[in-house]
């Protein structure tokens, strides 16, 4: 009996050791669709021995998943740079980065410095830049003359526009109204009043909305079919549509396109930091970054990767962003704790309004 018990204990220990070893050789990645293409994962595994388990998500879900587990379940996450400082201050879901393990020379210096600044909490850095892009307007120039976000609510576009019922739409409408919502992040009362005003605008605008989009396929199909004349959406979606129909263009709004940067951040209870740092450095190599950027359809913070990008995409970017429009991009700053609660209440009222 004693020998049998010993064998059971030994088998249990061996199983546990095997599971721990397997975990050590696996990177659990919480990321966006397109950010971990199959050929890149295969090359990473071949070079490093680390396998990659991919879970695709978005900002809200990433925060929710990590908050629910106090930062467990994943070894690397990719929230936008403005969504790190607030959740970290409030929920402690990330661990500070060890910058000595990062090959800093692989990054565009200005983007690296800006992202480090925006993701610093208590003197420690929690995020590094990866993929970036903008939100603005996609316009069928044959059927719409829209040049700014407010045109989504113009009478001539009634029933023919689409947008998301998310915080970027509130912020975009504020800029189009001549306000700077980012300047009010430190004043909850003033920010709440501004968001209330934008909520009223969006409620009045509901008659213009064919549908509020959540998924890429529905939105692109609406533009292709002519069902939509104008939509608030991301730049590369517009450039994708432009390839098939030159009348459809991504327009940087007069009040400024909204600029975002998706990052690398390590969850507080991640168990494989070695794999996480290996993935970051691997992804920022120019030849790898160019592959990922092509898969994601956006641009990358990797220094030199732009020289390997699709020339058609580079031209479309130049057409949509002459120098003045490029300088007018409104980059999202870090979101303070409590701001998204204010926006959420406003968006709930817009959604419920008849």
How high is the pLDDT of residue 20? 45
SS3 state at 103: coil
> What value does the CA radius of gyration of the chain take, rounded to a whole number of Å?
22
Backbone dihedral region for residue 256 (phi beyond 0: left; psi -120 to 50: alpha; all else: beta): left
How high is the pLDDT of residue 19? 43
Please count the other Cβ atoms lying within 10 Å of the Cβ belonging to residue 281: 17
Q: Which helix (H) or strand (E) holds 352?
A: helix 339-352
- Pick from 163, 126, 354: which is nearest to 253 by CA? 163
Q: Angle between the 286-296 and 38-48 helix axes, to the nearest 10 degrees?
A: 150
Domains of the chain, start order: 2-132+260-319 (3.40.190.10), 135-258+330-352 (3.40.190.10)
Give CA–CA dist 241/110, Å, rounded. 31
How high is the pLDDT of residue 11? 46
pLDDT tens column, 97-150: 999 999 999 999 989 998 999 999 999 999 999 999 999 999 999 999 999 999
User: Taking a C-beta distance cutoff of 8 angstroms, is the pair 126, 97 a contact?
Assistant: yes
SS3 state at 347: helix
Residues of the chain under the 50 pLDDT cut? 9-14, 16-22
How high is the pLDDT of residue 24? 78
User: Taking a C-beta distance cutoff of 8 angstroms, is the pair 30, 77 a contact?
Assistant: yes
How high is the pLDDT of residue 354? 74
DSSP per-residue letters across 40-91: HHHHHHHHH--EEEEEE--HHHHHHHHHHTTS-S-SEE--BGGGTHHHHHHH
- Pick from 210, 214, 213, 237: which is nearest to 226 by CA? 210
The count of C-alpha atoms lying within 13 angstroms of the C-alpha of 143, restricted to the half-sphere facing its C-beta, is 21
């Amino acid at each position: 009996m004693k020998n049998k018990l010993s064998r059971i204990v030994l088998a249990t220990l061996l199983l546990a050791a095997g599971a721990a070893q397997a975990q050590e050789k696996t990177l659990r990645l919480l990321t966006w669709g397109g950010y971990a293409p199959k050929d890149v994962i295969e090359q990473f595994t071949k070079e490093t021995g680390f396998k990659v388990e991919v879970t695709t998500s978005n900002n809200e879900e990433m925060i929710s998943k990590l908050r629910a587990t106090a930062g467990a379940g994943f070894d690397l996450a990719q929230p936008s740079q403005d969504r790190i400082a607030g959740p970290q201050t409030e929920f402690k879901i990330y661990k500070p980065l060890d910058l000595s393990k990062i090959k800093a020379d692989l990054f565009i210096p200005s983007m690296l410095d800006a992202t480090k600044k925006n993701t610093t909490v208590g003197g420690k850095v929690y995020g590094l830049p990866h993929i970036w892009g903008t939100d603005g307007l996609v316009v069928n120039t044959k059927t719409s003359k829209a040049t700014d976000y407010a045109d989504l609510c113009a009478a001539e576009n009634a029933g023919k526009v689409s947008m998301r019922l998310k915080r970027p739409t509130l912020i975009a409408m504020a800029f189009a109204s001549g306000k700077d919502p980012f300047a009010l992040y430190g004043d909850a009362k003033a920010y709440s009043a501004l968001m209330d005003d934008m909520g009223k605008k969006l409620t009045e605008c509901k008659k213009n909305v064919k549908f509020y989009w959540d998924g890429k396929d529905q939105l692109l199909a609406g533009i292709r079919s002519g069902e939509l004349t104008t939509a608030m959406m991301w730049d590369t979606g517009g450039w994708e549509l432009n390839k098939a129909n030159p009348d459809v263009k991504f327009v940087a709004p007069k009040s400024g396109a909204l600029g975002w940067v998706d990052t690398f951040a390590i969850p507080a209870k991640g168990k494989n930091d070695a794999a996480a740092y290996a993935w970051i450095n691997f992804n920022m190599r120019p030849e790898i970054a160019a592959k990922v950027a092509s898969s994601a359809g956006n641009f990358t913070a990797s220094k030199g990767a732009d020289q390997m990008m699709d020339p058609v995409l580079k031209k479309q970017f130049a057409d949509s962003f002459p120098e003045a429009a490029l300088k007018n991009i409104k980059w999202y700053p870090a979101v303070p704790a409590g701001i998204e609660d204010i926006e959420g209440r406003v968006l709930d009222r817009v959604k419920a309004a008849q």
